[in-house]
Structure formats: C-alpha cells, structure tokens
Amino acid sequence: MISLSHKPYIREIAGSDTAVLFIHGILGTPEHFRDFIPLVPASWSIFNILLDGHGKTAKDFSHSSMEQWKSQVSRIMHHLSEQYDHVLIVAHSMGTLFALSEAVAHREKVRGLFLMAVPLKLFLRASAPLNSLKVIFDRVSEEDAVAVAARNAYSMEPSRKVWSYAGWLPRYMELFKEIKRTRGLLPLLDVPCYVFQSENDELVSMNTIRYLQGNRKVEVSVLRRSRHFYYHPEDYAYLLEGFQSFVERNLY
C-alpha cells in the first residue's frame, strides 16, 4: 500500500501517453486518493499533488491563496498537456473547481473528469464545524467514524492557538468567489464528466446537482449514506467501482 503522508505522489512513466491528475480540496491531502492510485494502469503517469500551504501549519495555510493554488494547477496542466496525449483529472471538493476550469482551458487534452463533492452550492450542517473543532483540538474519538474521516482528510498540523486560524477567513472568501466563477464555466464544459455527490454532505448542498445536470456531458451519481469526507463502506465500494469503470473507458 502506498503511504502518502500528506505529501505529493508523482509517478512519471517514460513513453506514456496518458496521465492522471489528482487534486484535493481545501485543507485536504493527497491521502484522499490513496485507494484510487492502485486502480490506475501501471503504464499511466500519476500526478497526485499537494496544494501550496497544505500539509504544514495553520500559519502556512493563511499565507497561501486561491491564486497560488490555481497557478500551481495551471502550471502542472501546462506540463501535462505538453507531455501527454491524454489527461484525466480526478478531484474532490475545491479541487473539482480547478478540474472544471482546466478541462475548459485544455479541452483538446483532457479526456474526462471524475469528481467528488462538487461544491457549486454550499450548505453548512451543524456537524461540520463540530467535527472541525474536534480535529483542530485533537479531540477525535476513534469510534466516531465521521470525525475520523474528517481528521484523515485534514492535512494541517493541529494548533490549540485559536488566533492562528484567523488568517483562514480570506481563503474561504476566495473560495466562495471561485465557486461563483466556476458555475459560469459549466456551459463550456465539453468532456465526459462523472460526478459523485454525497446525500448527507455537511458542506455541499444537493442543489449543486441542478447546476451539473444543465450540461449533457455530466453524469451524476448520489451516494446515499455518505458525507463530505466520510464514505459508507458500500458507497465507497461503489465509488471505487465507478473509478475503475472510468479508467476502463479511457484505455487507448
């Protein structure tokens, strides 16, 4: 089993014509895609990236920005579009916004998108901030599967200094603006896009599906017993089966 430990995982295969780009969400980690990587053919290259400011401290995250993340993803996509005939993008949460943007910008190279928890409309459930506080203050019970999943998806070092999180507000304000911008890009998307939304998502409204279904290239599946980070075992098996099918559709 590959251990990522909140670090990027890059596998470049000489002579490969296909690359898979994995993009995690805000506060997230390449670990989110741990179980997807073994399903990628050995002949394909993998770029499972870590966004700037992630995997470090709360202060490091505060000093990053949406523009840095977008520029980072754009640089990588520029490299992939020059080196590979086919690029597939797999993303979660905020990472799906970048995936959609790059699919529009590089429609001649991006052959498909596999997206989870696309946040085109937000809805905050009470459990979301509660689990965040459990993670931040390292108070997660191992019996609490939802909180454990949130902790595993969080790449920053926990800090008990509450004021160290004050600098996060601008990052979230930037996220809201990026969500609005991405909605406007949806009509321009012209590549196959497979989306998996969780019915009990604490952060993303199910009304997002209405935006997605306006594009004929988008196919939406609903995970009935899952949340933003937590996947019910049966839903997770279905998700991985969906990814396997996505890979098989793109074998050239």
For residue 9, the Cα-to-chain-centroid distance in whole angstroms is 15
The answer to whether the beta carbons of residues 57 and 157 sit under 8 Å apart is yes
Question: What contacts 81, CB < 8 A, 6 or more positions away?
Answer: 87, 106, 108, 109
- State both tokens at 31: 């670990």
Q: Is there a catalytic annotation at residue 228?
A: yes
Report the first-to-last Cα separation within the chain, whole angstroms. Answer: 27
**CA-CA-CA-CA dihedral for 70, 76, 80, 86, to nearest 10:** -40
**Of 64, 201, 226, 235, which one is the catalytic site residue?**
201
Residues facing residue 19 across a β-bridge = 45, 87
Residue given tokens 């902790």 in the structure block: 151
Q: Is there a catalytic annotation at residue 138?
A: no
Which residue type occupies 146? V
Closest by CA to 46, choosing from 97, 82, 99, 84, is 84
Q: Is there a catalytic annotation at residue 235?
A: no
- State both tokens at 128: 């979301």
**Of 24, 54, 92, 228, which one is the catalytic site residue?**
228
**Of 93, 101, 155, 226, which one is the catalytic site residue?**
93
The answer to whether the beta carbons of residues 76 and 21 sit under 8 Å apart is yes
- Write the DSSP assignment of 83-95 as a string of letters: H-SEEEEEEETHH
Question: Annotated active-site positions, please?
Answer: 93, 201, 228
